[in-house]
Amino acid sequence: MHFMETAVAGAWIIDPSPHRDDRGRFMRAWCAREFEEHGIHFLPVQANMQFSLRKGTVRGLHLQSAPALEAKLVRCTRGAVFDVTLDLRPESPSYGEWCSVELTAENGRMLYVPEHCAHGFQSLEEHSEVLYLTSAFYAPESCRGVRFDDPAFGIEWPLPATALSDQDRNWPLAERPGHMLPRSCKNSVTNMKERSI
């Protein structure tokens, strides 16, 4: 695998090294040893999948707070998505900054999202699917969020938002980078049944 640093400290874009032959391809999707060699201490405990029917669907931006801090490893298994991570760590050199990458089923690229960073994505094609591994179990009481269109961060989404959950539409606007009201997603029926990243 090939690891590339991003504008967000501790967030990595990871490209596979596929082996191809007349049958198709083989590629490694995760390796604890290779991650450790790059200083990434990530032990997945849960895997989740999201499927978006419509092009332009936005999911996020989400994260979990202590004691359920969560890192994520995200990849697209069908279609294509514009994937974003936002740094909400006041002590970080990239505090308030965001980075993005296009993940597709074809390129096999992954995004590693560190703890304390919000994550979200927009589907670039109809019927896009995302698989992500997490370092913590889902904890609704620790769920936090940032509005995808919050002017405090100025994330440049490539398409108009065609579908958005009520929860994501109603996250409070930040007064300054990293400031979020402690609102939990535990009362969201949708979130309880289908994990939103």
Residues marked active site are found at 62, 132
Alpha-carbon span 4 to 27, nearest angstrom: 17
Task: Please give the structure tokens belonging to residue 114.
Answer: 């560190």
Alpha-carbon span 142 to 76, nearest angstrom: 25
What b/e sequence results for 151-175 when a residue is b if at least 16 CB atoms lie within 10 Å of its CB, and e otherwise? eebebebeeeeeebbebbeebeebe
Alpha-carbon span 111 to 7, nearest angstrom: 13
